[in-house]
Amino acid sequence: MMLVEKSRIAVLGTMVWLLMGVAFAAERTWTDSSGSYTFRGELVDATGGIVRLKTSDGRVIAVPLSRLSQADQQYIRQQAAAPGERTAASRPTITRPTPAVIEFQSGAKVEGRVTAWDDERILFVATVGGREFTREYPLDKILAVTVGGIRHVLGQAAGGGGGAYGGSASPGRGTASAPRQSRTRTEVQALIDQQGRAQPDWWESVPLSFPQTLDLSWPEKPSGNWNAQRNVGQYVWDVINPNPGKWREGIRLMHHLLELHASDREKRQRAMLQLGGMYHGLEQDYARAAFWYRQAGADRDSNTPTATKLAECYWKLGSKPMATELIAKGTVYYSTIKLLADMGETDQALRYADAGLRGSFADLAGLYAGDACRVAGQYQRAIGYYERVLQVKPVGKTAERVKRNHTRARANIESIKLFDTLDLGRVPDGTYQASSPAYAGDLRIAVTVAGGRIQSVEVTDHKEKQFYSSIKETTRKIVEQQSVKGVDATSGATITSEAILNATAKALAGAMR
């Protein structure tokens, strides 16, 4: 497979590239992962799994890191690890409470303000449920801290590999298509066991709170109508999931139910699966999610969608081999196709999706195939798959689903056609708005640009309920990568993520002069 087809190389005009952690390097020969295509060019930058290269004729192209040869990938890591990376020895001076994001070795993250930072710990203020809490975090528990758009790596990750690009800190370092760490199987298993058996850092600051009317006997099929103030499942669906301020209360409730039904195997199983899903989809605490998925048996029964979620946790924790091994054992779901694409296994993802194009869910298969190509930067191929979705006729019981997927496909095609025209250098300073169809209706965003850079992306209006971490995660990735290209959608909330990306592309394209 060719790395870049000449007809698809985007001419980026006069855009001024802000170099993100990797400076221009000498011109060299680059080779694709198959070894069949080479060209001459200079490294511009590498962020979020996307490498930007300046070709010998002056054009700048964007290529997924996974599409380059192993030798080229190693070269990029060496460049990123050159002098200038931020480590614990070059921490910022904190003179007043400063907005920051802390990433823990467990994979969990917390947003708040750093108030002090010394050789042993960080003092951090976070707001939970409208209340402020101050916590002291030892440096040996922290992987990295992002302050002022710069990611400071406090030490090498377990396994000695540092970050995906050597552990350097840079403005807007993204995480879209590769986990930042590499760990051995033994290290991942130890981390899962250690974190899974310990309470999260936020535990004491979040009360056990739930309606007194809630039926804690938790029957699998409640009698009467579903009632969010009585039925546990409906309470989680209608109250916990749509409200980020209640996510941790929901986790505490599930731990309470786990203890309450210690002698009931079926209810404990349900609680453990719920805990895995909450730590995974809400908190992105992949170590604890994996622990509870495994307690529920997902590592032993690989023929369930939960096994794919566990595989994603393994990958996020730094072991792609553990993820691919589990995937190979089990049934392929559409979530499996997405995970393979996110891990850079585009060809395998497309083989599975192509098989689905011949079945009764051809519209879904086409969407997932298009999404896989989109993440890999194969935009014309993605459009081809989305156009196949539009060829599926909305008839019978599947008519509403197919019509909804037609809407998604059209929005994705429109967004991709804008990609090659986007030039932040031509967007005046200001805040711009646009909308795009999501699952429950249109989702609206506001993107702020200053000095040719995306300063923020905010979802200003939506009707989604089960959006999980997609709103915070997708907007963060766009700002980190300074682009809508190559951003992977959040698992479990693909449609919401997709709408954010498409609306952002429309807003930026409409603002260009």
Cross-sheet strand order for the sheet of 430-437: 430-437, 442-450, 453-461
Phi-psi sector, 377: left (phi>0), alpha (psi -120 to 50), beta? left
Residues 6+ apart with CB under 8 A from 453: 18, 424, 482
Q: Do 92 and 55 belong to one domain?
A: no
Q: How confident is the model at residue 102 (pLDDT cuts 50, 70, 90)?
A: confident
Q: Work out whether strand 109-117 and strand 442-450 pair parallel, antiparallel, or are unpaired.
A: unpaired
Q: Do 279 and 306 belong to one domain?
A: yes
Q: What CATH number is given to the structural domain containing 362?
A: 1.25.40
Lowest-pLDDT choice from 1-5, 178-182, 449-453, 469-473: 1-5
Lowest-pLDDT choice from 15-24, 282-291, 308-317, 363-372: 15-24
Q: Do 265 and 319 belong to one domain?
A: yes
Residue carrying the six token digits 């298969």: 365
Q: Do 238 and 314 belong to one domain?
A: yes
Q: How confident is the model at residue 346 (pLDDT cuts 50, 70, 90)?
A: very high
Q: Do 410 and 352 belong to one domain?
A: yes
pLDDT given at position 59: 67
Q: What CATH number is given to the structural domain containing 471?
A: 3.90.1010.20
For residue 140, the one-letter residue type is D
**Residue 123 CB neighbour total at 10 angstroms:** 16
- Burial category of 178 from C-beta neighbours within 10 Å (exposed 0-12, middle 13-18, buried 19 and up): buried
Q: Do 361 and 431 belong to one domain?
A: no
Q: How confident is the model at residue 90 (pLDDT cuts 50, 70, 90)?
A: low
Residue 123 lies in a domain: yes
Q: What CATH number is given to the structural domain containing 17?
A: 2.30.30.700
Residue 1 lies in a domain: no
Residue 311 lies in a domain: yes
Q: Which of 134, 136, 155, 128 is nearest to 144 (CA)?
A: 155
What is the number of structural domains in the chain?
5
Three-class secondary structure of residue 337 per DSSP: helix
- Return the DSSP state at 161: -
Strand stretches in 148-276, DSSP E:
150-153
Q: Do 356 and 413 belong to one domain?
A: yes
For the record, the structure tokens of 316 come out as: 């996020």
DSSP state letters, 472-486: HHHHHHHHHHTSSTT
Give the ranges where 143-230 is alpha helix by DSSP (H).
Answer: 185-196
Residue 192 lies in a domain: no
CB 254, CB 213: distance < 8 Å:
no
pLDDT given at position 18: 29
Structural domain for 157, as ranges: 88-181
pLDDT given at position 390: 96
pLDDT given at position 231: 95
Q: pTM for this one?
A: 0.64
9-59 residue pLDDT tens: 232 232 223 223 333 456 788 887 777 677 788 887 665 566 777 777 666
**Residue 487 CB neighbour total at 10 angstroms:** 29
Q: What CATH number is given to the structural domain containing 100?
A: 2.30.30.100
- Burial category of 136 from C-beta neighbours within 10 Å (exposed 0-12, middle 13-18, buried 19 and up): exposed
Q: Tell me what the mean pLDDT of segment 183-212 comes to.
A: 92
